[in-house]
Structure 1
């Protein structure tokens, strides 16, 4: 594979950092939400970390988007079918959109929750822009959960595409994983 067939190093590093961060956020959220943070000190700590890492992901997505606008990504392999190209394009932009919307809904639900101790970014208090409001909290909480599961589904689709092209395509040139390694 030629060097120009790969994403720039900055995009590759951000891709893998965000992949780890986002999967950690999804599984951390999955683990902590069934428990009452007031009764479980560990869960309270998980919420604190979840909020901090959620805001970090929000910052990273803007760095990633600016990188994406600055660099022309390498072309997809010529042997990929048109449907696969369209699906890859959809999945990439859906992931970008979801990782912008998830921290916004998380911030909103945390900010509007009546008993919230506020939003912090690794110990730095972040101003709450929304008043406490049970109806807004419930809507944001519902939407945050739906978006998290949607992101998990799109990431699974993304990974399925990578595995398909790496291990099951007859054309070895379709191995898209090499572009991100």
Structure 2
């Protein structure tokens, strides 16, 4: 078995929008409890609000996992620590270049209109890499945070497509 395999994962940092939504949901719980205590027809409204929040709140907890297997990389989104969905799958035959985010190698792509996919943690301490790839006849800019093992595997499989500076 000579397959190259590496995986990495990051937890998405809460943005101002997700923190605001969480605060609104907490206010929604309080409003739902208030409606339940009022009674009569408002009880159903309060229960409906609480059920909706119960199902929506975990979806704000997002993690990304990257799986590299023999020249192909999958980007999965995990919501609520339970639901996994493969968002994007690319083959390294489709990749033009892979480099760190602020690399001068990527300067020629900055003026282009590229579809952007951000699978990074949004943390200030992170060191994201960018992949420029042709996916479904569109140029795409993909940001992610590979592990050292994954970088080594990608370099072993496609050495000319990765730049470390």
Q: Which has the larger share of helix?
A: 1
Comparing both chains, which one has the higher relative contact order based on Cα–Cα distances under 8 Å and sequence gaps of 6 or more? 1
- Structure with bigger strand share is 2
TM-score calculated relative to the size of structure 1: 0.25
Give the TM-score of the pair, scaled to structure 2. Answer: 0.27
